[in-house]
Structure 1
Amino acid sequence: MGRPPNLYAFSDADVAPNLRKYVLDQQTEALKRHNVFRVALSGGSLPKTLAKALLSPPSSPSSDDNDPKPDFSKWEIFYADERCVPLDHADSNHALLRSELLDKIPPNLPQPKVHPIDEQYLDDPQEMADQYEKLLVSVFAARDSVKLPLFDLILLGCGPDGHTCSLFPDHPLLRETDAWVLSIADSPKPPAKRITLSLPVVLHAAKIGFVATGEGKKGILKKIFETEEGGRLPCGLVNEGAGEKIGDAGSYPRY
């Protein structure tokens, strides 16, 4: 069904160096286009895997001088989804990224520009979504001239139910076509209140990467790539809709 997937399966030891190459290739292309690298990230195991990829030395010491390196001074980091919790809360994707990656960037290096949610709207997910959308509009241009924001790269995870961002199977948010950022107050996975990029925004990105790790992801990925039912799951919709812009990598075994 659909196009053949760009699926790459690695051992645990090989995920980080291959993710590093993938991300830094997108950094190179973005800096050629507009001298900034705008990335949207999800939570889960991704921040830890990304930190290992970006902060570890290149896999080939002999080519260290020639290998591209993260230029965090040119990075702008956004969140593909976020939970309506304080930024230091254990459930916060921002807190997770900060502890796994941001706090580990050596202080002598330039730091990326990070765009977290506004904590004053924690009790009002719709207002929080509206405010985050206004932020995207201010960064990506006036809304009357730009239909959708164009991220250079969106890195996503894949839940065991096939959800990605905070877009869940069979949820009405999957049918939203106008808003850039959506609110959800009934997430089947706690916490219930969240905001998320809409499916059209995800699909519009220049590049999209799924990073799935662990034996437990093998079944859902097989379903997404090989069945019609899987193609209707949020991850399946992204995989089908994004076409060749997408790359899938993980440490699950090949099937």
Structure 2
Amino acid sequence: MGRAPNLYAFASVDDELAPNLRKYVVDQQNEALNRHGVFRVAVSGGSLPKTLAKALLAPARSEDDKVEFGKWEIFYADERCVPLDHDDSNHKLVKAELIDQIPEGAPTPKVFPIDEKYLDDVQEMADQYEKTLVSVFAARDSVKLPLFDLILLGCGPDGHTCSLFPDHPALRETDAWVLSVTDSPKPPPKRISLSLPVVQHAVKIAFVATGSGKRDVLKQIFETEEGSRLPCGLVNSGAGDKVSWFCDKPAVEGISFPRRGSVI
């Protein structure tokens, strides 16, 4: 592992966290475009898309601050096995909060949703999504793991992230890129998720966790041995300083882990 993860805490989500998150994402975008001309991102659902929209849909302040959506490829860090227009669908949420809000006529990202054909067979759904990743990330040579430029995640009150849940056997998977989950403790029970090695392998990983409801689990993740074994804690320990947490002050109140003031 590299050094410890970066923990940022902001007084306000709209006025401080969102602009700092934008700077961080645009910096990763620009580096990725310099590397290989495309920005490959995996995103999760929950409250993340709304915060992302606040960050990314604001007007650019300079040439370096431009969000070049036309060069983005968006994948899902996890998805529920429901139709794409279902209220539980992460794709529906990301589409409504972010993609549909991009101004008309502006370039839009290429998005890779699940294939609804396989809704009744979770393992087949996971296999097909993995095949999609192989076609994008391993088209020219075989690779052990796909290398996302950035993975954007949330943190559940139980310390889960993607659809990787505490103490679940899926956390021990080392070979598969995409996992099938049939017994999620949160409904709906059937989901697919990127595996822990894929998440840890990304160039950069950012968590967005806000509100006092996250305080107890963040304290656990950052300050206890037990918390380091929760899925979010495993991402921290496996990816080190490639990980940045974007939190508001209520989420980190009373946490002694050193925090940074700003990306900007």
TM over 0.5: yes
The CA deviation string for residues 120-151 of structure 1, in whole angstroms up to 9 with x for no partner, is 10111100000000000000015972000000
1:39 Cα deviation after fit = 0.1
Q: Which residue number in structure 2 is paired with residue 191 of structure 1?
A: 188
Instruction: State the AA in 2 paired with 1:7.
Output: L
1:158 Cα deviation after fit = 0.2
Q: 1:98 aligns with which of 95, 98, 106?
A: 95
Separation in structure 2 between the aligned mates of residue 143 and residue 166 of structure 1, nearest angstrom? 29
Task: Assess if the C-alpha contact under 8 Å between 1:15 and 1:251 holds in 2.
Answer: yes
Q: Which residue number in structure 2 is paired with residue 77 of structure 1?
A: 74
The question of 1:107 aligning with 2:104 is answered yes
Instruction: State the AA in 1 paired with 2:9.
Output: A
1:57 Cα deviation after fit = 2.6
Q: Which residue number in structure 1 is paired with residue 59 of structure 2?
A: 57
Alignment identity in percent?
A: 76
Separation in structure 2 between the aligned mates of residue 176 and residue 30 of structure 1, nearest angstrom? 28
Task: Assess if the C-alpha contact under 8 Å between 2:5 and 2:242 holds in 1.
Answer: no
The CA deviation string for residues 168-193 of structure 1, in whole angstroms up to 9 with x for no partner, is 00000000001000000000000000
1:3 Cα deviation after fit = 4.8
Q: SS at the partner of 1:228?
A: coil
Q: Which residue number in structure 2 is paired with residue 34 of structure 1?
A: 36
Task: Assess if the C-alpha contact under 8 Å between 2:69 and 2:108 holds in 1.
Answer: yes
1:67 Cα deviation after fit = 4.2
Q: Which residue number in structure 2 is paired with residue 8 of structure 1?
A: 8
Q: SS at the partner of 2:65?
A: coil
**C-alpha distance 142-111 of structure 1, shift in aligned 2 (>3 A):** closer
Separation in structure 2 between the aligned mates of residue 183 and residue 246 of structure 1, nearest angstrom? 25
Q: SS at the partner of 2:163?
A: coil
TM-score by length of 1: 0.95
- Which runs of structure 2 are paired with 1:200-215 in the superposition (5 Å)? 200-215=197-212
Q: 2:226 aligns with which of 224, 229, 251?
A: 229
Q: SS at the partner of 1:40?
A: strand
After TM superposition, the runs of 4+ consecutive aligned structure 1 residues lying more than 2 A away are 2-5, 64-67, 252-255
Separation in structure 2 between the aligned mates of residue 5 and residue 145 of structure 1, nearest angstrom? 30
What is the count of residue pairs matched by the alignment?
249
The CA deviation string for residues 63-120 of structure 1, in whole angstroms up to 9 with x for no partner, is x234421101100000000000000000000000011001100111001000000001
Q: Which residue number in structure 2 is paired with residue 146 of structure 1?
A: 143
Instruction: State the AA in 1 paired with 2:75.
Output: F
Instruction: State the AA in 2 paired with 1:86.
Output: P
Separation in structure 2 between the aligned mates of residue 210 and residue 144 of structure 1, nearest angstrom? 30
The question of 1:248 aligning with 2:245 is answered yes
Q: Which residue number in structure 2 is paired with residue 61 of structure 1?
A: none
Instruction: State the AA in 2 paired with 1:105.
Output: I
Unaligned runs of 5+ in 1: 59-63
Larger mean Cα displacement after TM superposition, 244-253 or 150-159: 244-253
- Which runs of structure 2 are paired with 1:121-136 in the superposition (5 Å)? 121-136=118-133
Instruction: State the AA in 2 paired with 1:35.
Output: G
TM-score by length of 2: 0.91
Separation in structure 2 between the aligned mates of residue 244 and residue 143 of structure 1, nearest angstrom? 30
Q: SS at the partner of 2:186?
A: coil
Separation in structure 2 between the aligned mates of residue 171 and residue 143 of structure 1, nearest angstrom? 34
Unaligned runs of 5+ in 2: 255-264
Larger mean Cα displacement after TM superposition, 168-177 or 134-143: 134-143
1:219 Cα deviation after fit = 1.2
1:252 Cα deviation after fit = 3.7
